[in-house]
Amino acid sequence: MLGGDVVAVWEVALSDGVYRIEFAHGTTTGKRVVYVNGKEVVRKDWMFKLVGKETFMVGGASTKATINIEAISGFAYEYSLEVGGKSLQKFIDNRAKTTKTWLLSVDGEDCRVVLEKDTMDVWCNGQKMETTGEFVDDGTETHFSLGEHDCCIKASSGGKKKNGIEHHLLMDGQNVSPQ
């Protein structure tokens, strides 16, 4: 907890990492402070208007985020977060469709591998990976390395139309379970 006035905390998973957003709102002073992963990104002291919006950027791709501050009754306030122009829940739901995430241990280090399905970009712990793609009989394979390990994301139709394309991560030929 960063300040005594922190009133809301959100976790936002982007391709380059999971970001913790904390919002401090001094309802007597009008102070507004936004922290991303503990780092102050917005500070406004002495705001006479206690409701409104605070907009800032999050992540390596500078995704726009907005905190909405609304009065619900008397001195009670409600805080909501929008990411990329969508409510946090819609953003999460959309990311579930457009990305696939795996959490794995590589040589004792925790790795978070994210596939962006639309671009086929692969990220590991915030770094965009160098990949090579190839077409194979049942779909595509995207190859990259994690340390000394050969990794491959296999994309195949899985045979059933309603399931769409299935993505599987293999490390040294072994299947890795998704998050």
16 and 48 co-located in one domain: yes
The pTM assigned to this predicted structure is 0.82
> How many distinct structural domains can be found in the chain?
2
Look at residue 92 and tell me if it is in a domain.
Answer: no
pLDDT in tens, 92-101: 999 989 999 9
Look at residue 47 and tell me if it is in a domain.
Answer: yes
Residue 177, Cβ neighbours under 10 Å: how many? Answer: 9
Look at residue 25 and tell me if it is in a domain.
Answer: yes
Look at residue 118 and tell me if it is in a domain.
Answer: yes
Q: Which residue, of 84, 119, 136, is where some domain finishes?
A: 84
13 and 58 co-located in one domain: yes
**Separation of alpha carbons 160 and 146, rounded Å:** 31
114 and 54 co-located in one domain: no
CA angle, corner 87, sides to 85 and 88, nearest 5?
Answer: 110
> What letter does residue 66 receive in the DSSP assignment?
E
Look at residue 29 and tell me if it is in a domain.
Answer: yes
CA atoms within 13 A on the CB side of 165: 17
Contacts of residue 168, defined as CB under 8 A and 6 or more positions apart, other chains included, come to: 153, 154, 156, 175, 176
70 and 113 co-located in one domain: no
**pLDDT tens, position by position, for the chain (179 residues)?**
445 689 999 999 999 999 999 999 987 878 899 999 999 999 998 777 778 999 999 999 899 999 999 988 877 889 999 999 999 999 999 998 999 999 999 999 999 999 999 999 999 999 999 999 999 988 899 999 999 999 999 998 866 666 678 999 999 999 998 77
50 and 116 co-located in one domain: no
**Position 164, amino acid:** G
80 and 108 co-located in one domain: no
CATH code where residue 160 lies: 2.40.128.180
Look at residue 125 and tell me if it is in a domain.
Answer: yes
**Separation of alpha carbons 126 and 165, rounded Å:** 25
75 and 123 co-located in one domain: no
- Evaluate whether 29 touches 117 at the Cβ level (below 8 Å): no
Please give the residue range of the domain that contains residue 34.
Answer: 6-84
122 and 165 co-located in one domain: yes
